[in-house]
Amino acid sequence: MRRRTFLAGLSAASIAPFVQAKGAVNPLLLPFKPLPAFDRYKVSQFPDAFKQSMTSYRAEIARIANQKAAPTFENTLAALEDSGREYNRVSILFGVYTSTMNDKSVQALEREWSPKFAAMTDEVVQNDKLFRRIEAVYKSKFGNPEQQRLAWVYYNQFVLQGARLNPAQKKQLSEYNQKLAGLYTKFSQNQLTDEEEQKIVFDSKDDLKGLPQSVVDSMAENGKWVLRNTRSAMETFLTYSDRRDLREKAFKLWSSRGDMGGKTDNNQVVADILRLRARRAKLLGFPTFAHWRLENSMAKTPEAAMKLMMQVWPAAKARVAEEVKDMQAIAGHEIEPWDYRFYAEKVRKAKYDLDENEIKPYFQLDKLKGGLFYMAKQLYGFDFKKEKAPTLRDDIEVFEVTRQGHIGDWYFDPYARNGKSSGAWMNEYRTQENFKKPVAPIVSNNSNFAKSKQVLLSFDDAETMFHEFGHALHGLNSKAHYPMLAGTNVARDFVEFPSQMHENFLTTPQVLSQFAIHAETGKPMPDELVAKIKRSSTFNQGFSTTEFLASAIVDMKLHLAGDVDIDPREFEKKTLSELGMPKEIIMRHRIPHFGHLFSSDGYAAGYYSYLWSEVLAHDAYEAFEETGNPYDPTVSASFRKNIMEVGNTLDPAQAYRNFRGRDATIDALLKARGFSK
């Protein structure tokens, strides 16, 4: 089901303190007119909104399932697409709070309701009368290609979620799902606690040696300096700090999230999740969770995903050995994981005369945002105009997106804060559709930059901005008829393809010359610096590829292990040893804080999808490069028509062939990373 699963029914006692005054309308239940009324929402309103929207949704499902008329596309699948709108809207809004404003009150609600929300999803999927109607429509092969695709998606989702099980099996499955929902919440909240409460406080300037002034300024708090336990803060510190002892301390703090013992330790949580997933997969008729998870992916099987990863792994490891040799020549000692970023930066300076500090002043957050808009205009004809709209915080911006009329809206929430998930991501507040009437998408991008007077980004952070904006553009370009098939509602190993493809436009001459403006001089990035960036494009690819692949391979092996007792620490250690993991690097995400895998089913047995999508992304970008113009109008029009607009209205492999005229090959990926084939 496309609806997010956060909530379900409550006891009268738990609801009572939150019920709206008699006759009042809970604002969370109201349609966006035209945007979410964040100025009217309160956390205390959610229980009543959940109760009312679930009651309405149950009634809608009952009407569809119990009607006497023979199943047709209109009275079954079209009716399903039009059901649960209130419920979906409330769920999405709660998701905004849990990902960006997750204080203690929100966490308490999430802990109580996430299992019940999973039960609600099971209630719909396990409705036998409803499934029989879906099955009848699916087998009738009625309608146009998009309607047939919608029937296929519904049928397969219901089957994969247990619609064919007998009553006893359905009950067991629902118990698994509710337990998993509670464990996902526990995992996420443990991780968030470690990120918020674990930090390093410096009271001496001697502790800040090597750090750029902009970084020092962003750390300043009440006469001291605070290093937050977030990726952007830690990676910057590990890159620049001259203090090896403090780099080690910072690295160990960052890499130990969820693995510190005590009440926030995630090791047992992970073990419980893995066992329940294995049992659920077996109940559904699959040998492992990985086989169940990849059933409707582009890869189709875990073996195909592993084959791709192992094609790249040897070349990545070989490059790491070369990188370590270069670093040791400078360091004069063995390279440890807390040294890698620091000495890699020195090698880049020596080899390419390029220093991250030389780049960073040109990547001002506000200026780079203009680069995003430029890319969107050149590729898709979009214009962005800032508008006044209620937001959860004053530093969140809202833009109307137009192209010969209203297209949608884009929210930008760039700054780190307590209660906000780490990393960067895209949300859809509303999915595009053209079903009952045209509905414009509302999308958001979220980052975790340290807020300061002038926010300067690393190259990686700048690239991530273009990546996440690519997801937003995917949602904004959508032209599907039905919301289930619209925007980013595509296969997991396809969804990262548009976002990764858009990363390439950061380093186009058009963007760098206009939007890479020096923070102090106001001058654009000089040609010689652009040339250095281009020459160093394959630099440190051994590190980035290996840390990613290690995480993806461990993910797949965890979910191929089956119903066995797993000690996450030992499994990680043993698997990496068998792979010959370079000792100078650890996984990008160690198991106890691997949120992609254990905060939901999201990327579980699917972290490989970044690599799978990257093969498509590099192959696709070559189509632009072959014209000599990265914004070639003919190629961009084809990409928009065949990839960005179609959503899940057709098989993703066919969508790619429609754009490229053939299947993607691994050649462009290897070239981009500087690896030999």
Selecting among 60, 356, 428, 468, the annotated active-site residue is 468
CB 562 within 8 A of CB 275: no
CB 638 within 8 A of CB 283: no
Scanning the structure block, which residue is given the tokens 């409460």? 197
DSSP H helix total and E strand total for the chain = 28, 10
What are 548-551's contacts with CB under 8 Å, separation 24+?
Answer: 548/588, 548/610, 548/611, 549/309, 549/312, 549/313, 549/316, 549/611, 550/576, 550/579, 550/581, 550/585, 550/586, 550/587, 550/588, 551/587, 551/588, 551/589, 551/594, 551/607
CB 422 within 8 A of CB 448: yes
Neighbouring C-alpha atoms within 13 Å toward the C-beta of 409: 19
Bridge partners for 226 per DSSP: 201
In the sheet that 220-221 helps form, which strands lie side by side, from edge to edge?
A: 200-202, 224-227, 220-221
CB 121 within 8 A of CB 58: no
Strands 220-221 and 200-202 come out as: unpaired
Query: What beta strand segments (E) does 97-251 contain?
Result: 200-202, 220-221, 224-227
CB 411 within 8 A of CB 441: no
Number of residues written out for the chain: 677
For residue 595, what are its two tokens?
Answer: 């949120």
For residue 556, what are its two tokens?
Answer: 């797949």
Q: Measured between alpha carbons, how far is residue 498 from residues 402, 580, 607, 632 in Å?
A: 20, 32, 16, 17
248 is catalytic: no
CB 66 within 8 A of CB 79: no
CA distance linking residue 29 with residue 48, whole number of Å: 9
End-to-end CA distance of the chain: 40
CA 16 to chain centre: 36
Q: Which of 540, 414, 399 is nearest to 473 (CA)?
A: 399
CA distance linking residue 375 with residue 369, whole number of Å: 10
Bridge partners for 676 per DSSP: none
The DSSP line for 433-489 is: EESSSEE--EEEEEEEEPP-SS-B--HHHHHHHHHHHHHHHHHHH---SSGGGSTT-
CB 287 within 8 A of CB 277: no
Is the alpha carbon torsion for 669, 672, 675, 677 positive or negative? positive
CB 18 within 8 A of CB 47: yes
Strands 425-430 and 442-449 come out as: antiparallel
Q: Would you please indicate which residues are annotated as catalytic (active-site) residues? A: 468
